[in-house]
Amino acid sequence: MVRTDLTIIGGGPVGLFAAFYAGMRGMSVRIIDSLPSLGGQLTALYPEKYVYDMPGFPKILAKDLAAEMAKQGTQFSPEIVLEEMATSLEPTEGGYLINDKFETRTIIISAGAGAFSPTKIGVPLEEDFVGRGLHYGVRESALYKGKDVTIIGGGDSAFDWCLHLLPIARSVTLVHRRDEFRAHEDSVRQVLSSPVKLKLWNQVTELHGIEKIEAVTLTHSQTKENEHHETDAVIVNIGFKSTLGPLKTWGLEIEKNQIKVDHLFETNLPNIFAVGDVCTFEGKIKLIATGVGEAATAVCVAKTRLDSTAKLFPGHSSDMDL
Ligand code: NAP
């Protein structure tokens, strides 16, 4: 692995802006994110909601903002490492080693509320069946072609995947623990009037199969009756958990689950900065608008640490030839 000038942990809007600004400053950059795509919460949690407090956009859909920020953030071709949780940190000569493989001279943590991981259903053998018929969300629709698919959840993810997979799968069954849904009304209306089979007031309590999932036990939440339900695949969409997790073991000063920084956005560890929702200082405001400013400052400070002759403020982008 190449040693980069900067590793950004968290590819949400603030991390993406840090990547852009570091690119402008001629730094080599790597972005690490636990999610399968860039954009952070804008993409994972509320893609269809409007954001009203982005400068220059009276109103913009979160997914559109994420797409534009990803375009801006990747224009200097940073190395992008997705579905990777930053777990270990080791100091090295002139920098750090993350996860025993990513060498870097400086680090900006822009991990928002922390690394996201899908909520598990919490049944026996769950770990054993991951990737063998059990999936959290959908990576590749083609996997479900001609299959009997069971989708768990009552939110937008579950409903969106029901509608998406219906024309591809042989059958789609939605299992939800009650009869009210969090998903958008229109998605609920479409699913209810489609051939999706509903198993309401039910939860998956057992997984069965030899090489891969062949069936599940459904338990009725009220009557506690069990039903054997044959299926080729189970797609779990019951939300995400976010946690600072392993970052807490790095020796960073943490206050109320956030990383303490000084006026340069530097943590108590040299050349490790924290910006955006993950950091805390007196007067902290959790907005993308303030987070991107913090990112620009942290990048410029990191630049001067790497090159003592570099100016802190490089001048305005309108005067640069990008
Ligand atoms: P979510 O909205 O948090 O819904 C999770 C669903 O899983 C809920 O129906 C919940 O049931 C159920 N659930 C939670 N824990 C469970 C458990 N242990 N066992 C069984 N069921 C359980 O998650 P999501 O659907 O992934 O959506 C996350 C966010 O992203 C939401 O804000 C959503 O609007 C957004 N999103 C939006 C879109 C879109 O706009 N098209 C697409 C995807 C996601 P209860 O309702 O009973 O609690």
Of the pLDDT bands very low, low, confident and very high (cuts 50, 70, 90), residue 40 is: very high
pLDDT tens by residue, 100-134:
999 999 999 999 999 888 899 999 999 999 999 99
124 C-alpha vs ligand 1 centroid, how far in Å? 22
Host H or E run for residue 51: strand 50-51
Protein residue with least CA distance to atom 20, ligand 1: 177
Mean pLDDT along residues 277-293: 97
Residue 290, helix vs strand vs coil: helix
Which of 8, 65, 1, 9 is CA-nearest to residue 288? 65
**Is 62 a pocket residue for ligand 1 (Cβ < 6 Å)?**
no
Say what the alpha-carbon torsion angle 76, 82, 86, 90 is, to the nearest 10 degrees: -50
Residue 231, pLDDT score: 98
Which is the closest atom of ligand 1 to the Cα of 178?
47
Residue 242, pLDDT score: 82
**Is 84 a pocket residue for ligand 1 (Cβ < 6 Å)?**
no
Q: Please tell me what DSSP assigns to residue 195.
A: S
pLDDT at 295 over 90: yes
Residue 48, pLDDT score: 74
pLDDT tens by residue, 169-184:
999 999 999 999 999 9
87 C-alpha vs ligand 1 centroid, how far in Å? 27
**Percentage helix, strand, coil, to 5, in the chain?**
25, 30, 45
Residue 63, pLDDT score: 93
**Is 155 a pocket residue for ligand 1 (Cβ < 6 Å)?**
yes
By percentage, how much of the chain surpasses pLDDT 70? 99
> What is the identity of the amino acid at 194?
S
pLDDT at 1 over 80: no
117 C-alpha vs ligand 1 centroid, how far in Å? 13
Protein residue with least CA distance to atom 43, ligand 1: 157
Sign of CA dihedral 227, 206, 84, 245: positive
Rounded Cα distance between 162 and 37, Å, is 21
pLDDT tens by residue, 54-106:
999 999 999 999 999 999 999 999 999 999 999 999 999 999 999 999 999 99
**Is 138 a pocket residue for ligand 1 (Cβ < 6 Å)?**
no
154 C-alpha vs ligand 1 centroid, how far in Å? 6
pTM equals 0.75
Residue 317, pLDDT score: 87
Rounded Cα distance between 276 and 291, Å, is 4
Sign of CA dihedral 158, 160, 163, 166: negative
175 C-alpha vs ligand 1 centroid, how far in Å? 13
Residue 84, pLDDT score: 94
Of the pLDDT bands very low, low, confident and very high (cuts 50, 70, 90), residue 44 is: confident
Alpha helices in the chain (DSSP H): 13-24, 41-44, 62-73, 126-129, 156-165, 185-192, 288-306
pLDDT at 139 over 80: no
Number of C-beta neighbours around residue 100 at 10 A: 9
CB 177 within 8 A of CB 156: no
**Is 32 a pocket residue for ligand 1 (Cβ < 6 Å)?**
no
pLDDT tens by residue, 242-257:
889 899 999 999 998 8
